[in-house]
Structure 1
Amino acid sequence: MHSCLLCAFLIFLLSFLLSSLSIPFYPSNSLSLFGDAQFSNNSITLTQETSCLSSSNSSNGIGRAFYDYPVRFLDISSNVTASFSCKFSFTITSSSPSCPLGDGIAFFITSNSGFFSVSNGYMGLPNEVSDPQDSYIAVEFDTNYDPSLGDINGNHIGIDANTILSLDSVDVTSLGFDLKSGKKMTAWIEYRDSSKKIKVWLGEDYEARPPAPVLESEIDLSKHLKEFMHVGFSASNGRGSAVHVVDQWRFKTSGVAPSTLPVETVQEEECLVCWPGDTGEDDQVSDFRRRDKREVRLALGLGGLALFVIFVLGILCFYYVFVLRRKGMIPGECNEGQSSRFQGSKVPRRLSLSEIRSATRGFNQNKIIGEGASAVVYEGALPSCGTVAVKRFSEVKQKGNLRNPFSNEFGTMAGCLRHKNLVQLQGWCCEKNELVLVYEYMPNGSLDRILHLRTHATKLLTWERRLNIILGVASALVYLHEDCERLIIHRDVKTCNIMLDADLNAKLGDFGLAEVYEHSCRTRDATLPAGTMGYLAPEYVYSGVPTVKTDVYSFGVVVLEVVSGRRPVDDNGVVLADWVWDLWEKGTVGEAVDHKLIGRYNKVEMERVLVVGLSCVHPNSKKRPTVKEAARMMKGEMPLPNLPAKKPTVKIQSVLPKQSEELLRFGHDEVNDTPWATPKTHFSRF
């Protein structure tokens, strides 16, 4: 309790000091940099000098920088869209006389900071947005002429919405500007929702905005803006070479109050992002409040004292919450220190315990829709989200290297995992002894329930829907393994954790066992194997080292389970993977098809999926395909693998420590006969 109060007091003090002293909140650690971007002399250098010959075939010719904290652009309850103003200085300097210039620089607003292009060209922007959940708006300062993109020349400003093809553009050469001159220029960007217009000014004097914009375009951004968006910059060199630099950036919204920390500590009339050395207000922008010089001097005078007090309190809070809790000296309370690490950094909203109780009618037993080893799931209703699934975690005593499922799942999901085939985290609550995660509601429950328990509903699972579910799970795993900014190994892929929406589309959930790594990480730590029998890869059971190939094995079991309608291990102890391997050896693998399909399927397509499923459960992990390869093979985009005539035998030596009895107990009186099998999640009611 004391730790939560201390953190709350610290946040309040930060909020009070920042709002009353008007000190701009924009430390460099609130920026995320990707690709070639780096900090240099209080500026953001987005691209580096390169050889144009090497950059043409490189994936390192881009740089991106975005503000870590999502900005609220849309009030869903009132359907009000924010207006915004942006001002920044930039320079584009040719770095090699023998090479053409780079592509240019773009200011962007995006719903997903992770889906931008990672290859050269297009200023690092996506060619087009294919997923309706993603959206972006960009103002490009283009220095590369590409007729295929509709460019008017190699020195223009354009406005993009969900595609690199500009909606509107202007040649700035005739206005006396050369974007690639190496001179520092200042851009002003303003959008007014009342007039549905976006305006862009360009000048060389940072203090005085020109009277007339260089570009004015009618566009309704409410059709492109989501509730929360990220703001930032992107640049690329393509086949050329240039250094793209941004500094003195300021940004603000009006009309919609921000609602995530630390953004919510800034008053509506104040600058949302002020960085660096930008102490004055814009005389030309009417909604930037003019500050009295004495107030600024007071802020600067007291700023040092305030920062010192904050620094001391921060050290005390860190020691009390993190150090003591990790040593086990603060038992039985919500780990506020850990939750504050994620608070406000991503879209999920913090909810009060009273809101959670109201949504679930006091955790009413009749609202339970699922129960697992560490949590109970309730159906609930929130005014801002509609029907939701409320996952209430029970208190877990941590031993050895076993982690609290809430901390692990929250830490993974708070990383803004946004994908159409992942169950989306809507909010969270960490209050008193309650640990709660709030997810979007899946009206058709789990795949396990429909496949095995709801006999009357199994007829809904036509072959076309089953294949769509398999490909949906594959898409989610490809995102976790390859497309996410960090490598995520799920470790618990099974039908219980695959949820179905109203249209029976698959969404992978339950990240309580997930492991997160940097993509550059070459080795994995050995852990106590966790998961469910029948889904675990043999090498993982014995080594305790999770890899993407252990997820591939679990995915392969899911494929065989969906096709056959059989459980991974049936009541007689028959292992599904072994059973299908036996059919393959006999040349009768087609007999594995679920009889409830009564022959209503494409035989060639079905056998192709079964072969891919078997390749995924190959005992030798090196012989398994990646999930992306498996999906392509099922779609007929790649040739099928050459499977051995019979299930191969692979020798694996256990590396589990002999003295692991205490770890294996994990709150049980007796050691489990199958220590790698955690209690199976079940959804007994729907």
Structure 2
Amino acid sequence: MAVDAAEPDLTRRRSSRSARTTSSANPIRSPTESQSQTRLDPSSSNATSSSYSYDGGTGSSYRLGSSIATAEASVSTRTSLSSLRNSLPENTHIYDISEIRTATNNFLAKRFSSSSAPSWRCPLRGKEVVVFQRKLRRPIQDSDLREKLSVIYRSHHMCIIKLLGACISGEYIYLAYDFMPGGNLADCLRNKRNPNFTVLSTWMSRMQIATDLASGLDYIHNNAGLKINLVHKYVKSSSVIVTEPSFNAKICHFGTAELCGETVIEAKLVKARGDDEIVEVVSPESSPPKNLNLTRSSSGTMQFEGVKGYMAPEFRGLATQKTDVYAFGVVILELLSGEEPVKYRYDKEKGNHVRTFVVESARLAVKGDGGEEAEIEGRLRRWVDRRLKDSFPVGVAEKLTRIALNCVEDDPNKRPSMSRVAGKISKLYLDSRKWADTFRVPTDFTSSFAPR
């Protein structure tokens, strides 16, 4: 009892010594002095609110008021956002042609891919890049180049390969993209050396690619250019890089069409000098893209041909978001079936080759002559890539096929927007994940090979 009676006095003595030490070492006044000084000095900026608040109890403690805490939090937030922004590669790179020549060994280095556009994998300003050489379709000023590069360069999405910079030399533009290890989707689906093998042997790996591709293209159409409607134009399976081991998809060549002058297109073609000779008159704002070929139709006019199998029916050199949606639908059908967009099959009875399209085969599988649900399921199972070994949710596969067929409608006005498509495919991905969790191989068992 004597000890208990002495404890409050001991506490008071310790508190008194602590208060004297604090007052001598710390210029902060007591709460009473602070409040009285605030009331006496009306010109003070703290006249309306106290800078510190007092927390009563056995010990004296001070804490920052809400106004100061909010101000410091705001400063901390601005600082963190500023440091994050400075860490992002926002400065546009316009390379000198000498840098490109040095990096590519004067363009004699080994080509990176067998595509029509020459490309080289090389180090450039301390980064591993892939440089593509493309032909300019119309002259571009340095100011316009910097403006377009700034819009494309500030676009950040995990499903889009970053454009690091560009260089103009004569009639060519050199585009440096961040190197991304992996293989393109076309090679992953169709192995020429071993047609029965594919790295995309599971349903979830293909759903992951479909989800990433839809998300990336939705970003390009609706968010990358802010108030500008950007178009990709090069949507095809060979322009999608698949990374391991997660099988994420990344879109290549974003910004190429915009920088090469292939997005503002209206080529005026007139017939002159007789019935057999065609003179092409191109408007000064545009010119036909590089991968388009002019062919003569039965009406005597000139038509554009794009990449076979991915070209929308209305495409005449005018790349729009609707043509991107059409090409996206073809890629999804290609992903589901494993087949090329256009395939030639030899007909023994007729003795010639018959051309088949993946769009037509998909329509026969899902729509066909109608029939009961079991008949549609049977046709769909025969159409989907057999290397999946018939292990996929049929309902999800049918819905995804119908979404892709909506994207390849002949009438562009009937095609959905990429934002709507991306939302639907995201939901199908979640449904596929539930299916995969349900049919997962059990691992919580043991086995013994000992004799019984």
* TM beyond 0.5: yes
Q: 2:133 aligns to what?
A: 392
The 5 Å alignment of 1:397-546 reads 402-403=137-138, 413-415=149-151, 416=153, 417-430=155-168, 435-453=173-191, 458-460=198-200, 462-484=202-224, 485=226, 486-502=228-244, 503-510=246-253, 511-514=255-258, 529=304, 531-541=306-316, 545-546=318-319
Q: Could you tell me how far apart the structure 1 residues matched to 2:401 and 2:113 are?
A: 30
The one-letter code sitting in structure 1 at the alignment partner of 2:312 is A
Q: Could you tell me how far apart the structure 2 residues matched to 1:372 and 1:404 are?
A: 24
- Alpha-carbon contact 1:444-1:501 (below 8 Å) kept: yes
Q: Could you tell me how far apart the structure 2 residues matched to 1:470 and 1:571 are?
A: 26
Q: 1:356 aligns to what?
A: 100
- Alpha-carbon contact 1:406-1:435 (below 8 Å) kept: no
Check 1:412–1:582 CA distance in 2 against 1; reply closer, same or farther (3 A cut). farther
Q: Could you tell me how far apart the structure 1 residues matched to 2:69 and 2:427 are?
A: 52
- Alpha-carbon contact 1:513-1:530 (below 8 Å) kept: no
Check 1:627–1:227 CA distance in 2 against 1; reply closer, same or farther (3 A cut). closer
The one-letter code sitting in structure 2 at the alignment partner of 1:533 is K
- Alpha-carbon contact 2:240-2:249 (below 8 Å) kept: yes
Q: 2:404 aligns to what?
A: 613
- Alpha-carbon contact 1:228-1:347 (below 8 Å) kept: no
The one-letter code sitting in structure 2 at the alignment partner of 1:512 is T
Q: Could you tell me how far apart the structure 1 residues matched to 2:287 and 2:105 are?
A: 39
- Alpha-carbon contact 1:590-1:607 (below 8 Å) kept: no
Q: Which has more helix, going by share of residues?
A: 2
Q: 2:343 aligns to what?
A: 570
Secondary structure at 2:403 match in 1: helix
Q: 1:369 aligns to what?
A: 112
Post-superposition offset of 1:414 = 4.2
Check 1:432–1:481 CA distance in 2 against 1; reply closer, same or farther (3 A cut). closer
Q: Could you tell me how far apart the structure 1 residues matched to 2:329 and 2:257 are?
A: 19
Q: Which has more strand, going by share of residues?
A: 1
Post-superposition offset of 1:222 = 6.9
Q: 1:175 aligns to what?
A: 46
Q: 1:552 aligns to what?
A: 325
The one-letter code sitting in structure 2 at the alignment partner of 1:487 is N
Summarize deviations over 1:66-122 as a string: whole Å, max 9, x none: xxxxxxxxxxxxxxxxxxxxxxxxxxxxxxxxxxxxxxxxxxxxxxxxxxxxxxxxx
- Alpha-carbon contact 2:190-2:338 (below 8 Å) kept: yes
Summarize deviations over 1:351-374 as a string: whole Å, max 9, x none: 3444434433443443x212443x
- Would you say how many aligned residue pairs link Structure 1 and Structure 2? 302
Unaligned residue ranges in structure 2 (runs of 5+): 1-43, 50-66, 265-284, 289-303, 346-354, 370-375, 430-452
The 5 Å alignment of 1:244-255 reads none
The one-letter code sitting in structure 1 at the alignment partner of 2:93 is R
Secondary structure at 1:379 match in 2: strand
Post-superposition offset of 1:582 = 1.9
Post-superposition offset of 1:418 = 2.3
Post-superposition offset of 1:424 = 0.6
The one-letter code sitting in structure 1 at the alignment partner of 2:323 is T
Summarize deviations over 1:170-213 as a string: whole Å, max 9, x none: xxx983689xxxxxxxxxxxxxxxxxxxxxxx9xxxxxxxxx99
Summarize deviations over 1:211-231 as a string: whole Å, max 9, x none: x9994469595797347479x
The one-letter code sitting in structure 1 at the alignment partner of 2:310 is Y
Post-superposition offset of 1:593 = 0.8
Check 1:534–1:225 CA distance in 2 against 1; reply closer, same or farther (3 A cut). same
Secondary structure at 1:608 match in 2: helix
Q: Could you tell me how far apart the structure 2 residues matched to 1:600 and 1:629 are?
A: 27
Post-superposition offset of 1:459 = 2.3
Q: Could you tell me how far apart the structure 1 residues matched to 2:200 and 2:386 are?
A: 14
Summarize deviations over 1:18-72 as a string: whole Å, max 9, x none: xxxxxxxxxxxxxxxxxxxxxxxxxxxxxxxxxxxxxxxxxxxxxxxxxxxxxxx
Check 1:347–1:611 CA distance in 2 against 1; reply closer, same or farther (3 A cut). same
- Alpha-carbon contact 1:423-1:439 (below 8 Å) kept: yes
Check 1:568–1:447 CA distance in 2 against 1; reply closer, same or farther (3 A cut). same
Unaligned residue ranges in structure 1 (runs of 5+): 1-172, 179-201, 203-211, 231-259, 261-345, 518-524, 639-686
Check 1:225–1:412 CA distance in 2 against 1; reply closer, same or farther (3 A cut). same
Q: Could you tell me how far apart the structure 1 residues matched to 2:326 and 2:171 are?
A: 37
2:120 is aligned with 1:378: yes
Post-superposition offset of 1:567 = 0.6
Q: Could you tell me how far apart the structure 1 residues matched to 2:120 and 2:341 are?
A: 27
- Alpha-carbon contact 2:92-2:164 (below 8 Å) kept: yes
Q: Could you tell me how far apart the structure 2 residues matched to 1:526 and 1:433 are?
A: 15
Post-superposition offset of 1:444 = 1.0
Q: Could you tell me how far apart the structure 2 residues matched to 1:359 and 1:626 are?
A: 40
- Alpha-carbon contact 2:396-2:428 (below 8 Å) kept: no
Q: Could you tell me how far apart the structure 1 residues matched to 2:319 and 2:382 are?
A: 32
Q: 2:40 aligns to what?
A: none
The 5 Å alignment of 1:278-297 reads none
Q: Could you tell me how far apart the structure 2 residues matched to 1:512 and 1:557 are?
A: 21
The one-letter code sitting in structure 2 at the alignment partner of 1:477 is L
Check 1:362–1:590 CA distance in 2 against 1; reply closer, same or farther (3 A cut). same
Check 1:492–1:383 CA distance in 2 against 1; reply closer, same or farther (3 A cut). closer
- Alpha-carbon contact 2:200-2:206 (below 8 Å) kept: no
Q: Percent identity?
A: 26
Post-superposition offset of 1:476 = 1.7
Q: 2:365 aligns to what?
A: 583
Check 1:552–1:475 CA distance in 2 against 1; reply closer, same or farther (3 A cut). same
Post-superposition offset of 1:431 = 5.1
The 5 Å alignment of 1:15-54 reads none
The one-letter code sitting in structure 2 at the alignment partner of 1:351 is Y
Post-superposition offset of 1:405 = 11
- Alpha-carbon contact 1:425-1:440 (below 8 Å) kept: yes
User: Which of the two has higher C-alpha Rg?
Assistant: 2
Post-superposition offset of 1:574 = 0.9
Check 1:627–1:223 CA distance in 2 against 1; reply closer, same or farther (3 A cut). closer
Post-superposition offset of 1:455 = 5.7
Check 1:553–1:434 CA distance in 2 against 1; reply closer, same or farther (3 A cut). closer
Summarize deviations over 1:550-576 as a string: whole Å, max 9, x none: 221111101000111101101342111
The one-letter code sitting in structure 1 at the alignment partner of 2:307 is T
TM-score by length of 2: 0.57
Q: Which range moved further: 413-422 or 562-571?
A: 413-422
- Alpha-carbon contact 1:499-1:508 (below 8 Å) kept: yes
Q: 1:604 aligns to what?
A: 395
The one-letter code sitting in structure 2 at the alignment partner of 1:425 is L
Post-superposition offset of 1:632 = 2.3
Post-superposition offset of 1:427 = 2.4
Secondary structure at 1:628 match in 2: helix
- Alpha-carbon contact 1:491-1:531 (below 8 Å) kept: no
Q: 1:126 aligns to what?
A: none
